[in-house]
């Protein structure tokens, strides 16, 4: 069910972080959750499109950069934000330089920083912003 809000898919193997993201974004965005990169790809395929995907860098199976590369290839209009629990890393710097991610945020981050990154991604991708 959509309320006309931009759709955001949050991907992390940590259920507590997913719950925190949902609480932080509720009311401003339509939030969906995925606990793995494969779950995220299935959500994109069957429940997409999403305006933004926010994913963790380190996950079992497929890491966040690989996921964002696949999303960029298949859904190029979806904005992509990478979260890293290890601060700025060579991998996150590479993801930015290669265009896989619009923005990288180091965990823990203030909710306001995430909101700013999402709004900037929306503007950059020309998705109508929330009211």
In a domain, 54, yes or no: yes
- The whole-number pLDDT of residue 104 equals 82
Q: What is the pLDDT of residues 31-44, one digit of tens each?
A: 999 999 999 999 99
- Rounded Cα distance between 25 and 121, Å, is 15
Residue 121 domain boundaries: 7-125
121 in a structural domain: yes
Supply the pLDDT for residue 1: 44
Which own/partner pairs from 98-102 qualify as long-range (CB within 8 Å, at least 24 positions apart)? 98/69, 99/72, 100/65, 100/68, 100/69, 100/72, 101/65, 101/68
Q: What is this structure's pTM? A: 0.86
State the DSSP string of 7-67.
Answer: EEEEE-S-HHHHHHHHHHHBTTBEEEEESSHHHHHHHHHHH---SEEEEES--SSS-HHHH
Residue 108 maps to which CATH number?
Answer: 3.40.50.2300
Decide if 2 is inside a domain.
no
Domain count, the chain: 1
- Low-confidence stretches of the chain (pLDDT < 50) are 1, 131
104 assigned to some structural domain = yes
- On whether residue 25 sits in a domain, the answer given is yes
1 found inside a domain: no
pLDDT of residue 95: 62
Q: How far apart are CA 105 and CA 115, in angstroms?
A: 11
């Amino acid at each position: 069910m959509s309320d006309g809000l931009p759709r955001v898919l949050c991907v992390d193997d940590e259920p507590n972080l997913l719950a925190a993201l949902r609480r932080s974004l509720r009311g401003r965005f339509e939030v969906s959750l995925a606990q793995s990169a494969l779950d995220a790809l299935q959500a994109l395929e069957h429940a997409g499109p999403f305006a933004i995907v926010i994913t963790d860098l380190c996950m079992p199976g497929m890491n966040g950069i690989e996921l964002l590369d696949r999303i960029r290839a298949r859904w190029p209009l979806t904005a992509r934000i990478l979260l890293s629990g290890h601060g700025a890393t060579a991998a996150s710097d590479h993801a930015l330089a290669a265009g896989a991610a619009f923005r990288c945020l180091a965990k823990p981050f203030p909710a306001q920083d995430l909101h700013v990154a999402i709004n900037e991604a929306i503007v950059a991708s020309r998705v109508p912003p929330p009211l």
